[in-house]
Structure 1
């Protein structure tokens, strides 16, 4: 009798405790699981970011060791060069004669054409890089703008279009404005005279050679700058 009573009393006393203990474990397990998942996620994030940083550092160092960019020139001939750090274009400015102002906006490399080279053994395909120039010529305060759209190839300038626009108009005229004929439609002698017009103002083959060297350096500089800004962002906590 006493033995059965003791067992009954033990069940009465221990059952609530066991039930309460199981409830605590049940409620604690999701919390422990959440902390584990959070820890694993943070570890993966840290490993991923660490790998990206390692690759960026290696790539930056490789570019600096292989052929580090040089300090960009601030002048070419009589042009003042506005480097525009972090942007995809530069601007050249100069005065010409008594009242002319010349502004040249230049893109980074924005295209290429295939070039076939014949070697001693076989014919291999290469590319010739393209740069766009927009040449604006002003004559005095409030004058209209004579605008040339040109291509700069590695060793020559090629005129694509010539048109007039108001000084307060953005580059690229509205569709209802007459932009003139295609340059190749002009009389050959007139085409040659317009090339001479630009040549006298320093828009010539020497400028094309300079711009290709300048943009090659800028391309590398901007690439390294971009990798550096990405690295700095990822490093932030």
Structure 2
């Protein structure tokens, strides 16, 4: 539904018609009006969308405060002396446009998780990239990397990060799957993260309509 927010708009046709003329101040003002009207219409349309039912994350995971409005971890928990944090993104944010549309425009049925397992006193955390589905979770890669709080933001491109996960022997792959399973990384996370992403997408789109409209509508100082 979010992707269809722009569907059916005639703003593009009106824009092309006006663009053929010399953009005098009057024409430019008309273009601004067309965009602002379209932004307002879609803002109101998106604001009426029904949010998904509220879903709580599986215990003992807790939602990171402010995660809906920030980039970074969504869930966090402690496991013995370890701290585990989970970030999530849609498959559509990784694959080319249209590559994940088999289940429909708004299907959020395939998620990618970034899982960080850190220990006190260690400068690096164990990082897993996982695929999460309604009935399964799979590991795509595992490596050691600087803790988020310790990282300067630069990535050491020459550091060895281990073999490709699928190149590891089966016993080792099974061991890593058991490792994340004992820490609660499983398909039970899916319902919450699916609903969380829908709400985040909704908020981001509403914010985008509002911010773009504010920028276009802002008057130059006299």
Per the normalisation by structure 2, the TM-score is 0.69
| Greater RCO, 1 or 2 (C-alpha within 8 Å, sep 6+) | 2
Counterpart among 94, 107, 115 of residue 89 in structure 2 = 107
Structure 1's 101 and 86: CA in aligned 2 closer, same or farther, altered over 3 A? closer
- Structure 2 unmatched runs, 5+: 1-22
Deviation, structure 1 residue 173 = 5.8
Indicate the residue corresponding to 2:129 in structure 1.
149
CA RMSD of aligned residues (A): 3.4
In the TM superposition, 1:1-237 aligns within 5 A as 41-65=24-48, 67-69=49-51, 76-82=58-64, 83-87=66-70, 90-97=73-80, 99-108=81-90, 109-111=92-94, 113=99, 130-167=110-147, 168-169=150-151, 174-237=156-219
Q: CA deviation at 1:195?
A: 1.4
Preserved contact between residue 114 and residue 128 of structure 1 (Cα < 8 Å): no
Cα-to-partner distance string for 1:1-59 (whole Å, 9 max, x where unaligned): xxxxxxxxxxxxxxxxxxxxxxxxxxxxxxxxxxxxxxx93322222211111111111
Q: Distance in 2 between matches of 1:233 and 1:213?
A: 30
Higher strand share: 1
- Partner of 2:32: helix, strand, or coil? helix
Q: Measure how far apart 1:78 and its partner are.
A: 2.2
Structure number with greater Rg is 1
The SS at the match of 1:150 is strand
**The structure with more helix, counted as a fraction of residues:** 1
Does the 8 A contact of 1:69 with 1:217 survive in 2? yes
Normalising by structure 1, we get a TM-score of 0.65
Separation in 2, partners of 1:145, 1:91? 17
Structure 1's unaligned 5+ residue stretches are 1-39, 118-123
